[in-house]
Amino acid sequence: MTPSWVHTVWDTILSGGPIMAALLLLAFLLYRNVIGLFLFTNRLDAKAVFEEQSPDHSRPAIQDFRDHLSQLVSTQLTYANVLIVAAPLLGLLGTVIGMLDTFKGIGAESGQDTTKAVADGVKVALITTQTGLMIAIFGLFLTQLISRLYRAKDLELLELEIQTLQKNISQ
Mapped to the 3 state alphabet, what secondary structure does 5-23 carry? HHHHHHHHHHHCCCHHHHH
Does residue 36 belong to any structural domain of this protein?
no
Does residue 10 belong to any structural domain of this protein?
no
Contact 101, 124 (CB under 8 A): yes
Contact 128, 16 (CB under 8 A): yes
Mean pLDDT of 135-154: 95
| CA separation for the pair 12, 39 (Å, rounded) | 31
Does residue 92 belong to any structural domain of this protein?
yes
Q: What is the pLDDT of residues 17-73, one digit of tens each?
A: 788 999 999 999 999 999 999 999 998 887 777 777 766 667 777 788 888 889 999
DSSP state for residue 110 in the 8-state scheme:
S
Does residue 15 belong to any structural domain of this protein?
no
Residue 117 structural domain: 57-164
Does residue 17 belong to any structural domain of this protein?
no
Q: How many CB atoms lie within 10 A of CB 67?
A: 10
Q: What is the pTM of this model?
A: 0.81
**Counted domains in the chain:** 1
Does residue 23 belong to any structural domain of this protein?
no
Does residue 73 belong to any structural domain of this protein?
yes
Q: What is the pLDDT of residues 105-124, one digit of tens each?
A: 777 666 667 777 777 778 88
Closest CA to 86 of 26, 128, 127: 26
